[in-house]
A and B are shown apart, each in its own frame.
Chain A
Amino acid sequence: MDGCTVVIIALIFTALSQLNSYVSEEWKNRVCNQINPYFPQLTIKLKEHTALVEANNSISAQDNYAQWTKNNRKLDKLKKEIDDLKEKLFHFNKSKIDTWNKLAKLMITVPFLLFKLWKGKTIVYTLPSNQMFPSVINGVWHNGFLFVALAPLNWIRHGAIHPAAVTSEGNYISFGISLGIWCWALNTVISTIEFIVNQLFIREKVTAPTIDNKDNEKSSKTL
């Protein structure tokens, strides 16, 4: 498998997992409601409830006491049925969402993790020069973060933190960026962009707290 294919597969997995993370619980609930057998029943009951409340508000309780009381009895009964249906709807949706999450984990997260473990050290592209970064950083780019953990052991065993960096002819090998590091960098970029977009456009602006002068005056008088 060449570097290009590895990158394309990694990009597909990244795109899929990002898309899955963008699917909100509300949206999942909406989708589940479409297949939920209790949802149509609940909709009917809620409509009945609204109609009964409107009917009760439109009549005088004192002039139509019997009708008003009958409506109240129906409302009490409906309320119980609605609560019961809501409970059933919630459990149905929860089980479906749990299945969705498990499937997503099974089809995206786990294969992507295995793929990264399998092809994590594949060099996605080569650095134009070995002098671009210090040796330790070059080692991390080339071998992943495990390089940092193994560095002391390499130093003890071989007298150098990167023994494989020098070829048998005494030349430095050309360093590259491994798939694991490339994926990490890509995810960091995506989450930074998400953060900026979220802060600038999605999150509601929090107004600065203001001090009410009247309150201040009151408290100073009390003191």
Chain B
Amino acid sequence: MDFNVERNLHSLINSTSHKWIFVGGKGGVGKTTSSCSIAIQMALAQPNKQFLLISTDPAHNLSDAFGEKFGKDARKVTGMNNLSCMEIDPSAALKDMNDMAVSQNGNGDGDNLSDLLQGGGLAELTGSIPGIDEALSFMEVMKHIKRQEQGDEGENFDTVIFDTAPTGHTLRFLQLPTTLAKLLEKFGEITGKLGPMLNSMMGAGNVDIAGKLNELKANVETIRQQFTDPDLTTFVCVCISEFLSLYETERLIQELISYDMDVNSIIVNQLLFAEYDKEHNCKRCQSRWKMQTKYLDQIDELYEDFHVVKMPLCAGEIRGLNNLTKFSQFLDKEYDPQADNHIIYELEEKN
């Protein structure tokens, strides 16, 4: 095993094989900034490819990070030709599904179960189900896979980067393919026996349950295969150099390994590098940097075969395409506290 791994994400940024990149970690560690930075660097490094950044976090931050409004449909980032963003909104998506169901079912006679499920009650019912955000994100993934299979050039993205919700949500989302595969297996057995009866309950000739289930099963299996292929999918963990954040990162990594997912990159954000900062080197910064160094040493010891990228704490908020682009360069080429120190104050000047 090669332990001399690069302390940057150069190989990932220039990777042409990766289709799905997940960025996740504890709340408040800079997941959105990191995912935006990865997306920008990839888009800059591979101008002929199309990238999509999706936020699956119910508390979306992409619009704030880029300083422009994104919605449930993919929209290009102003100033970039090959990077689009979207924020999955569970309530809006459910409303759309509901409206579609109502329009399709407009001539229903109100007698059967399908009228009850599709005629408006569905959105209210599903909206309150725990984990619906993850399910909708998963549906979005399925849509993209379908588009890729159908060769729909207009909406085709080469790589999708996920700005995920805090750890618990993300793990639930990543468990979905396996859980769904098991569930569909059981459903398959039931529909094999009760298929005709279920079809008649849902309205004769209206919904082919067995057919739909088989189609869903095939899609879920494709996603499961793609998510566990290290050439296609990888997970980038984001943390800060503090105990609880590291502890959650370790938990996340172990869980991802148990799902057979590739994880070999860790971004450590908000580092002070106080000893190299001659101008702004207060006592508080020194003590916090001492604490951060202690945990950084531990990270190096624990994750020696990982790409551990050390990112600086900037003087201002990293918002807007320009600031994000400046900040994100340290993902491709590691931050040099002495040579690059001025950049973290340049960002401040922009705000």
Contact = CB atoms under 8 A, between A and B. Distances in A.
B254 interface: yes
Interface in A64-120: 65-66, 69-70, 72-73, 76
Interface stretch (B138-146, B180-188, B295-303, B331-339): B295-303
Contacts of A66: 297-298, 301-302
Interface in B226-256: 243, 246-247, 250, 254
A17 to B, nearest CB: 47
A65 B298 contact: yes
Residue of A69, A73, A76 contacting most chain B CB atoms (<10 Å): A69
B302 A70 contact: yes
Contacts of B254: 73, 76
A72 B254 CA distance: 11
A75 to B, nearest CB: 11
Categorize the interface residue count of chain B: 10 to 19
Residue of A66, A70, A73 contacting most chain B CB atoms (<10 Å): A66
A61 B298 CA distance: 11
Contacts of A65: 243, 246, 295, 298, 302
A70 B250 CA distance: 10
A72 B247 CA distance: 11
Contacts, number: 21
Contacts of B302: 65-66, 69-70
Interface string B296-318: 01100110000000000000000
B243 A61 contact: yes
A213 interface: no
A62 interface: yes
B246 to A, nearest CB: 6
A176 to B, nearest CB: 65
B243 to A, nearest CB: 5
A70 B303 CA distance: 11
Q: Is the interface of B mostly helix, strand, loop or mixed?
A: helix
Categorize the interface residue count of chain A: under 10
B250 A69 contact: yes
Contacts of A76: 254
Contacts of B298: 65-66, 69
Interface in A24-72: 61-62, 65-66, 69-70, 72
A38 to B, nearest CB: 24
A62 B243 contact: yes
Nearest to A76: B254
Contacts of A73: 254
Nearest to B250: A69
Nearest to A72: B250
B74 to A, nearest CB: 39
B333 to A, nearest CB: 27
Interface in A111-159: none
Contacts of B295: 65
Nearest to B244: A62
Nearest to A70: B302
Contacts of A69: 246-247, 250, 298, 302
A66 B302 CA distance: 6
Nearest to A62: B243
A1 B263 CA distance: 81
Contacts of A70: 302
Nearest to B297: A66
Interface string B138-174: 0000000000000000000000000000000000000
A56 B295 CA distance: 18
A70 B254 CA distance: 12
Interface in B4-39: none
Nearest to A73: B254
A62 B241 CA distance: 11
Interface in B249-276: 250, 254
A184 B301 CA distance: 75
A62 B244 CA distance: 9
A76 B247 CA distance: 15
Interface string A5-36: 00000000000000000000000000000000
Interface in B88-118: none
Interface of B: 243, 246-247, 250, 254, 295, 297-298, 301-302
12 contacts: A61-B247, A62-B243, A65-B243, A65-B302, A66-B297, A66-B298, A69-B246, A69-B250, A69-B298, A69-B302, A70-B302, A73-B254
Interface of A: 61-62, 65-66, 69-70, 72-73, 76
Given A62-B243, A69-B247, A72-B250, 4 more contacts: A61-B247, A66-B298, A69-B298, A70-B302
Please provide the 3 A-B residue pairs with the shortest distance between their CB atoms, ordered closest to farther.
A66-B298, A65-B298, A66-B301
